[in-house]
Structure 1
Amino acid sequence: MLKEFENYLVQEGKSVNTIKSYLLHIGNYFIWYKGSFGEQPTKLFRQNVLEYKTYLQNVKKESGRTINSKLSALIKYNEYLQDKEIQDDIVLSKKDNIKIQTEFASPATVGKQEVETFRQSILKHEGNRNYAVVTIMAYAGLRISECLNLKLNDINLTSKEIVVKEGKGNKQRLVYINSKIVEAVKEYLKERKEVECDYLFVSNKGNKIDRTVINKLFNKYSNKITPHTLRHFYCSNALESGYSVHEVANQAGHSNIHTTLLYTNPTKEKMKSKAELL
């Protein structure tokens, strides 16, 4: 059943990470169901799904965001079962999600000095290729997958533009870049191997870089900065530098403007400083 569900998600054009996440969550639901009822589910029942939600809340003590991610997978699985005419009723929807109060403090947890120190460590110890990767992520706001999927003809150093062709949800966007990125990529291209691979960033073997290589880089040089926090930094830094909310949403590829609005909030440090004034 999971294999057919996987094929359904692939046909829908879901990203590799989204598919992995959905399959993991549905697999865990199957495990819970068999442990509870001694058999594998053939369809979804609302009562079972609500029991599972209660189990995640009260037994597993999982966060609201984690539970909502698992419910989203079940919503998609419900859609798949309907599409395959295995069942005809909708047993859950987004209305069943746990309501989460959004934190007022900005998601940006690292400042410019920390980012610059991190970039300099990469430049000194890991070379021009990896330095260019983290510079694009920090100052163009690309997701790690978007950065590593860039092709040579996706970046124009003269016009200072990057075309992100494989964004989240397969949405294409144009991102404007600064001189930091231009110079970093120029230096990398001087030493890039002459290989048939048309990806911008290639491994020593001439293939596309695996994201685990870059993740290890972050783990090695920082216990605070991750690919995701660099994206947060980009959004906050862009707003503080004069970008409008809509401009940041467009550049970062946010499908929902409310995601971008989070970055208009004060940082946690600023909130704490204000608290001392009370």
Structure 2
Amino acid sequence: MNTLTDFKEWLTKRDKSAETIRSYLAAVKRFISFKQEQTNGPVLVNQTTEEDVQAFVYHLQTKKQYKPASINVMLNALRTYFKYAERNEWIKTNPTTHIESVKNHKQRRDYLTTEEVQQLLNVIDHPIANLIVRTLAFTGLRISECLALEIEDIDFVKNLIYVRKGKGNKPRVLPLSAALKPHLLEYIEGQRSYIKDSQKLFATQKTGGFSAVYINRILNEATAKLGWEKHVTAHTLRHSFASELVRQSVELPKVAALLGHSDFRTVTSIYVHIADEELQKAVELIQL
């Protein structure tokens, strides 16, 4: 019995994305490798204990110095794997049942104000990279979703953006911002019209597309020009989009829908924060 092969087939049938499947399998293999080194022998699923999983987490924290978020991704993979094993009666007790996620004591994430986004756009000279950054800021798209857009995914009549390759292969539809629309139209009717060999919305004659690594490098160079200490990535723009919506009192379920989150509580835990100066202004309203 090859449990990993069965597990992979099960994940595929559940319509998990290729990246999720790869990540889950890699995490389980890493755990098995760790346990093999500890016992110097074969690893049996039904002999795995809670202590084994705790030792693995401790190893990732101390020896590998993984960040809490990375460890929790692996823990989630192990939980799914052992839940599957339990369902198939390969094990009697799930060793991950009482394993808690690693707490992340990192301070709130960096995000940009609308003024800072404009400053960022002002120093990005590459026209298509500039438009990609603008699109991220106006849509809250993940960088992978943005770069996967094709020309036909933009409906300029209905003012809609069709995200066909969302996280977990879940498609969604976004409204096209009136402030973003003319920039996209100008690009498609101008520079983009000369590229015939690619269906990607954001494309160059040479490569037919753009990479997330390149966009993040552009952002890094832009923040250096501005002299910012903030670490700005494509995901920072997604975070900034959500934060601005929350600041403007948009209802959390609507924010979650725009971001492609199935549960609005995710928005509560990740994106809800108000600048310290706004909190200060709020308490100053109380006069006794």
Same fold (TM over 0.5): yes
| Residue number in structure 2 paired with 1:55 | 59
Q: 1:252 to 1:82 in 2, by over 3 A?
A: same
Offset, 1:67? 2.8
In 1, distance between residues paired with 2:92 and 2:280? 49
Q: 1:204 to 1:177 in 2, by over 3 A?
A: same
Offset, 1:16? 3.9
Aligned residues: 273
SS of 2:126's equivalent in the other structure is: helix
SS of 1:96's equivalent in the other structure is: coil
Deviation track 1:189-247 (CA, whole Å, cap 9, x = no partner) reads: 11113324322122323534333332322233236211111111101112233422121
Q: Is the 8 A contact 2:60 2:71 kept in 1?
A: yes
Seq. identity, %: 26
| Residue number in structure 1 paired with 2:218 | 217
Please say which of residues 196-205 and 139-148 is displaced more in the overlay.
Answer: 196-205
In the alignment, structure 2 segments of 5+ residues that lack a partner are: 224-229
In 2, distance between residues paired with 1:139 and 1:214? 16
Q: Are residue 243 (structure 1) and residue 245 (structure 2) matched?
A: no
Cα RMSD (Å): 3.4
| Residue number in structure 1 paired with 2:24 | 22
Normalising by the residue count of structure 2, what TM-score does the alignment of the two structures yield? 0.78
Q: Is the 8 A contact 1:107 1:267 kept in 2?
A: no
Q: Is the 8 A contact 1:132 1:181 kept in 2?
A: no
In 1, distance between residues paired with 2:40 and 2:284? 57
| Residue number in structure 1 paired with 2:227 | none
Q: Is the 8 A contact 1:201 1:208 kept in 2?
A: yes
In 2, distance between residues paired with 1:203 and 1:82? 49
Offset, 1:119? 1.7
In 2, distance between residues paired with 1:179 and 1:21? 38
In the alignment, structure 1 segments of 5+ residues that lack a partner are: none
Q: Is the 8 A contact 1:108 1:236 kept in 2?
A: no
- Larger RCO of the pair (alpha carbons < 8 Å, separation 6+): 1
Residue identity in the other structure for 1:205: K
Please say which of residues 1-10 and 136-145 is displaced more in the overlay.
Answer: 1-10
SS of 2:158's equivalent in the other structure is: coil
SS of 1:158's equivalent in the other structure is: coil
Normalising by the residue count of structure 1, what TM-score does the alignment of the two structures yield? 0.81
Q: Is the 8 A contact 1:143 1:228 kept in 2?
A: yes
